[in-house]
Amino acid sequence: MPLGDFDIVQITSQVTVSFWRYYPQPESHPGFTSADLSRLLRRLHAIPAPPVSLAKFRPLTSLVDALSDDTADVLSKDDRQWITEQVAIVTQRLTNRDWDLGAGLVHGDAWAGNLLVSPRGAGLGDWDRVAHGPREIDLIPTWHAAHRYGRGTDWINRFVDIYGYDLRDSPAFDDLLRMRDLAQLPGPLRRAPHSPRHAAALRQRLAGLRAGNTGQWIAL
């Protein structure tokens, strides 16, 4: 069960290039579970530091970038200001605190939708946000899927049984969940001007966050 199928070559101290292998995904695959994800993350978080320098994990960079795009014009001035304030609050609360699992190599967007079928089993794809940071960052998508997308407690329990840590025990849980909530805005935000479906999802997510509504979201 590979973590990912790629080679990393450090050309200079400033330039690192990765070469990826492409595997077509079978249409008949039943889909991956939180247990598949948990096995991979447990292995990932146990390996030593990689032989290349990694950027320090910074929360919500994709949202900050999205707010600077022209597509962000779909937001009202008040919504844009509120989001900006929330990013600052969450970033501050997640900075310089103690973490139960310590810091190390993190994937940065570890949810079941980023798992791929390879000849050796499940593998993690989409390594755009790989960084050095608190390992809890890779766990929160599983809890978020249960809270926002109807996966339920069984989805969490299967993950915990394998990984061996329940994120709900972390003092940072509420802040991590808030971070993941906000991290789910850039996708629909960028597509909202041209897609009624994404515009509706953006309105639902933003209205729920502003009202403190913890209900289920439209999945995209």
Domains of the chain plus CATH, in order, are: 6-211 (3.90.1200.10)
Taken in order 216, 32, 100, 180, the sign of the CA dihedral is: negative
Considering only 12-21, 42-51, 83-92, 128-137, which range has the smallest mean pLDDT? 12-21
Higher pLDDT, 28 or 60: 60
Question: What's the mean pLDDT when you consider all of the chain?
Answer: 90
Q: How far is CA 171 from CA 13, 98, 140, 220, in A?
A: 37, 9, 13, 30
* pTM, entire model: 0.88
pLDDT in tens, 164-174: 999 999 999 99
Report pLDDT for 206.
95
Confidence of residue 88 (pLDDT cuts 50, 70, 90): very high
DSSP H helical segments within 30-133, as ranges?
Answer: 34-44, 61-67, 77-94
The residue ranges of DSSP E strands in 66-202, in sequence order, are 103-106, 115-118, 121-124, 131-134
Helix (H, G, I), strand (E, B) or coil at 91: helix
User: Who contacts 149 (Cβ-Cβ below 8 Å, separation ≥6)?
Assistant: 216, 217, 219
Report pLDDT for 1.
42
Q: How far is CA 19 from CA 5, 9, 117, 127, 130, in A?
A: 9, 8, 18, 12, 15
Q: Distance between CA atoms of 155 and 136, rounded to whole angstroms?
A: 17
Q: Distance between CA atoms of 171 and 177, rounded to whole angstroms?
A: 12
Report pLDDT for 118.
80
Cα 213 off chain centre by: 21
Report pLDDT for 69.
85
> What is the DSSP secondary structure assignment for residue 50, as one 8-state letter?
P
pLDDT in tens, 10-22: 555 566 677 777 8
Structure tokens at 45: 């978080």
Report pLDDT for 81.
95
Q: Distance between CA atoms of 127 and 145, rounded to whole angstroms?
A: 19
Q: Is the pLDDT score of 124 beyond 60?
A: yes
pLDDT in tens, 138-190: 999 999 999 999 999 999 999 999 999 999 999 999 999 999 999 999 999 99
Structure tokens at 21: 């292998």
Report pLDDT for 149.
95
